[in-house]
Amino acid sequence: MPGTCAKRRHQRLLGCSEPVPESLLESLHAIDLTLLAGALLILAGIASSLLARRFGAPLLLVFLLLGLLLGEDGPGGIHYNDTHFTFQVGALALAVILFDGGLRTRAAHVRGNVLPALVLASVGVVMTAGLTAVAAAWLLEIPALEALLLGTIVASTDAAAVFFLLRAGGLHLERRSSATLEIESGSNDPAAIFLTLALTTWIATNHAGGTDPGATALSGVVAIAIKLAWAIGLGAGLGYAGGRALVASLNRLTLPSGLHPWLALACAVALFAITNLLGGSGYLAVYLAGIVVANRPIRARADVLAVQDAATWFAQLVMFLLLGLLADPTDLMRVLWPALGIAVFLMLVARPVSVFLSLSAFGYRWQEMGFISWVGLRGAVGIFLAFIPLLAGLAHARLYFNVAFVVVLVSLLVQGWTLGRAAHWFGVAVPRADPNTRRIQLDLPGQLEYEMVGYRVAPGSALLRGAVLPGRVRLAMVVREGQVLLPTDDNALAANDYAYFVAPGGAAPRLDWLFAEGGDARAAEEDTFGQFTLPGNVPLDELAAFYGLTMPPRFAGTTAAQLFDQRFDEQAQVGDRLSAGRATLVVRSLDGDRVASVGLKFTGMGERLISGQPRASP
């Protein structure tokens, strides 16, 4: 009966008096069902996002489990086995995610960390693959070359997982740790992809027979080196050129409202495809293009970032759902225990050893290296690379896919769920919570340096408690009880006003804190700034010597302003605080982007010193 009703409805919509062919009606009915299924999947993804946020679960893990539940062996019962389509969707999704990662990367925040991150993204990947191969060969009892292929598949840190999870929970890291992770995860794909392609080709050739293994090995190594150098060089060159071309297009083309974000996204995907066609690394190209766009003035930046947020979320949803649908829980259970052993070895041995060997020469603290080791998240890239042996038809290709799936599942479950705790345990998290502030952001036509931002003035916000606006920020107008008031009206801001400011690009995050609800504002702003006020350029070693404090050796020769600049992944804000021995430094005022003055608080020995007690030896 439902099918008959649907056919009659389609016949009425088509305006046909004659009977419509059954095949056409069935096609239209199938289209309706497909659209309904797609809409329900998106709604399920949105619902799972809300649940993940409520229970603190990694969203990528939720999407992956949702795909498993909807699969043929789950309650959903969907039969899906199209590896070619999944590979294409995964490539597109990773391009979108990497472009988004580049758009969030500020050059000032990563400067000085590029070289160690690139060493970790290249040499570190090779070391991780080799060490993991040892465990794979022993646990799975497979030949050394196949074990190396499996190790390569799961060796690279997944940019999608790192970018998404670092930002989803509002976690703020020390600048060096954050920059190293982001650059490494965004740039390690070329090495992993080409190693996987080369080893897959090598194994397929050896199985085909008719070649000398020694000659094949030598020619294979040379070919890998040449192709890898070409891929990285071409990807970097086209990424920079494509980014500059995209900036010029956004700024010079007069487009209807709302089209600038789609121009940026389409250009990024086109750049990815062109670079791959020429033999370069499209993933590296879109990541660098995003960095170029992020660090130059562009039109409609707020719109570009807003649409990119939604596109990245959707790319994550589709990619992980398809990967979950493609997996067979029965096959996964057959390799569960050896795969778990490989996952544990990768997390606790292979990744830490490669990180410590790659970064120790650059002066990283053991806490930083420990955290970077733990956040070597495996995600869609590992499963995505496992498609290459599947598409090549290798004998044990399904084994590689199943092991990679279990490793990714364990990584998201264990490492993804404990990311925040690990950051605090290793001491690389900085004490800042994102404000609960809604911001209106508009571009000002005719120039690129300034934008207009608007806020509701919440009761108890910092601005009403005497905080001052950052430099070069000017009040444009106030909306109060339906009336527009200009600054010349000489009316001070009041609670529940809507204030609009003209501000330099990038100043909006500093304004967010000024308009946060009093209950949501940071405790540092409610508490005292300390017994003393000191200039931001006060040397910390002199401060420690004067007050008898024990400062970590790495603070030697550093001023208070430099300490805040080094620790926070974004510029410091009023009220930010850091511990320095038994003292606590609190930002009191800013001069542009630099800390102008700090408050000084003491605990323990420092408090006795201030109250006149004899100074204890540090």
Q: Are residues 325 and 468 in the same domain?
A: no
Q: Which residue has the tokens 């057959």?
A: 334
Q: Are residues 91 and 33 in the same domain?
A: no
Tell which wins on pLDDT, 471 or 65.
Answer: 65
CA distance 307 to 358: 37
Q: Are residues 322 and 350 in the same domain?
A: yes
- How many domains does the chain fold into? 4
Q: Strand 474-480 to strand 483-485: parallel, antiparallel, or no bridges (unpaired)?
A: antiparallel
Work out the pLDDT band at 489, boundaries 50, 70, 90: low
Q: Last residue of some domain: 492, 514, 536?
A: 514
Instruction: Tell whether 250 is covered by a domain.
Output: yes
Side-chain half-sphere of 153: how many Cα atoms within 13 Å? 34
Q: Are residues 397 and 305 in the same domain?
A: yes
pLDDT number for residue 285: 93
Q: Are residues 389 and 412 in the same domain?
A: yes
Q: Are residues 461 and 403 in the same domain?
A: no
Computed over its alpha carbons, how large is the radius of gyration of the chain? 28
Mean pLDDT over 476-494 rounds to 81
Contact assessment for residue 510 and residue 470, using Cβ atoms and an 8 Å cutoff: yes
Instruction: Walk across the sheet containing 577-580 and list its strands.
Output: 532-535, 594-602, 583-591, 577-580
- pLDDT digits 0-9 by tens, 542-578: 777 777 777 777 777 788 878 877 777 666 766 677 7
Instruction: Tell whether 258 is covered by a domain.
Output: yes
Helix H, strand E, coil C: the string for 341-390 is HHHHHHHHHHHHHHHHHHHHHHCCCHHHHHHHHHCCCCCHHHHHHHHHHH
Mean pLDDT over 10-14 rounds to 52
- pLDDT digits 0-9 by tens, 28-51: 677 888 788 778 877 877 777 776
549, 552, 553, 556: CA torsion to nearest 10? -60
Mean pLDDT over 209-221 rounds to 54
Tell which wins on pLDDT, 471 or 336.
Answer: 336
Instruction: Tell whether 522 is covered by a domain.
Output: no
Quote the Cα angle for 574-603-552, to 5°.
80
Q: Are residues 271 and 304 in the same domain?
A: yes
Q: What is the CATH number of the domain that holds 481?
A: 3.30.70.1450
Q: Are residues 125 and 263 in the same domain?
A: yes
Instruction: Tell whether 520 is covered by a domain.
Output: no
Would you say how long the chain is, in residues? 618
Mean pLDDT, the chain, rounded, equals: 79
pLDDT number for residue 211: 52
Q: Are residues 220 and 353 in the same domain?
A: yes
Instruction: Tell whether 289 is covered by a domain.
Output: yes
Per-residue b or e along 413-438, where b marks 16 or more CB atoms closer than 10 Å to that residue's CB? bebbeebeebbeebebbbbbeebebe
Q: How far is CA 596 from the centre of its chain?
A: 31
Instruction: Tell whether 101 is covered by a domain.
Output: yes
Residue 535's DSSP bridge partners are 597
For 305, other C-beta atoms within 10 Å of its C-beta total 16
Mean pLDDT over 330-340 rounds to 92
Work out the pLDDT band at 596, boundaries 50, 70, 90: confident
Q: Last residue of some domain: 481, 514, 547?
A: 514
Q: 513: closest CA among 50, 172, 53, 59?
A: 172
pLDDT at 207 over 70: no
Q: Last residue of some domain: 396, 425, 454?
A: 425
Q: Are residues 557 and 468 in the same domain?
A: no
Residue 17 burial (10 A CB sphere; 0-12, 13-18, 19+): exposed
Structure tokens at 423: 């950051």
Instruction: Tell whether 197 is covered by a domain.
Output: yes
Q: What is the CATH number of the domain that holds 254?
A: 1.20.1530.20
Q: Are residues 86 and 212 in the same domain?
A: yes
Q: Are residues 485 and 532 in the same domain?
A: no
pTM (2 decimals)? Answer: 0.75
Query: 189: domain range?
Result: 59-65+82-425
pLDDT at 219 over 80: no
Indicate the range of 260-269, 353-362, 536-545 predicted with least confidence: 536-545
Instruction: Tell whether 71 is covered by a domain.
Output: no
Q: What is the CATH number of the domain that holds 587?
A: 3.30.465.10
Tell which wins on pLDDT, 352 or 602.
Answer: 352
